[in-house]
Amino acid sequence: MNEDWISVLMQLRERREPCVLLTLLADKGSVPRNCGTKMVVGREQTYLTIGGGHLEYQCIAMAREMLAAQTISPHTEHFNLGARLGQCCGGMTTVLFEPLIQPQPQIVVFGAGHVGQALVALLATLPCHITWVDERSDMFAGAPPAVKTWQPQDPLDAVKSAPAQSYFIVMTHHHPRDLELTEAILKRGDYRYLGLIGSQTKRQRFEYRLAGKGVSAEQLNTLRCPVGLPDVKGKLPAEIAVAIAAEIIAVYQAAS
């Protein structure tokens, strides 16, 4: 059973999900599990167990704080399993926290049209975590396995739930939807990259409307529209996708 943690880590690696590996290093007295027991904690799920109860609950919370802070250094914590921790075992244990984090851009793509299809297929080959958003569920038939697809009733939910420093690409089939998504992302402010598909004329129209909604000139200067590296030209979906992907690569390489 203890070997299961290896297959769990392999699955998470394939899905490009960061996690923290917990290992019981030492035990003294009565403890829920023996030395060497392991558990894996992801952002949303946990795998295996180090014994349950308040000890496990507290360790999960600490592991997720490490994931949120993108901590890369392992460390140990010592626990007395008494009333103060809400345990009745009475023993002591030491837990090793090993963050297994592959620094990867969190990319949210809005729109599953021709360009969206080409872009996601390309991004899926890169070291990044992709959420693909479109209300039309039938558009995701060819989604790569590692890509998370989402069909929310309100795409703004995807803006709210994305982690800080995310990369956003807005390219829906509806200009008013592009506008409201762009406004929400700009006002959120903690993004790493925001690209909007469209011409210079579209940018000028959006700037006028967004300024009327309280978006500052400084915020508008962070918007990439037309999106993509200007030296990569072309109007085919694949050509546009290459230009956008190249710009994202340049941004995340500069950040790292």
Evaluate if residue 2 carries a pLDDT over 80: no
pTM above 0.95, yes or no: no
pLDDT in tens, 186-198: 999 999 999 999 9
The C-alpha angle with vertex 149 and arms to 104 and 60, in degrees rounded to 5, equals 55
Confidence of residue 209 (pLDDT cuts 50, 70, 90): very high
| Whole-angstrom distance, CA of residue 17 vs CA of residue 152 | 22
- What pLDDT score was predicted for residue 255? 75
- Burial readout 30-48 (b: 16 or more C-beta within 10 A, e: otherwise): ebbbeeebbbbbbeeebbb
The pLDDT of residue 1: 41
Residue type, 104: Q
Instruction: Tell me what pLDDT residue 177 has.
Output: 96
**Would the pLDDT of 26 be above 50?**
yes
**Lowest mean pLDDT across 59-73, 90-104, 132-146:** 90-104
Cβ contact 97:63 at 8 Å: yes
* H or E element that contains 175: helix 175-188
Q: What is the pLDDT of residue 47?
A: 95
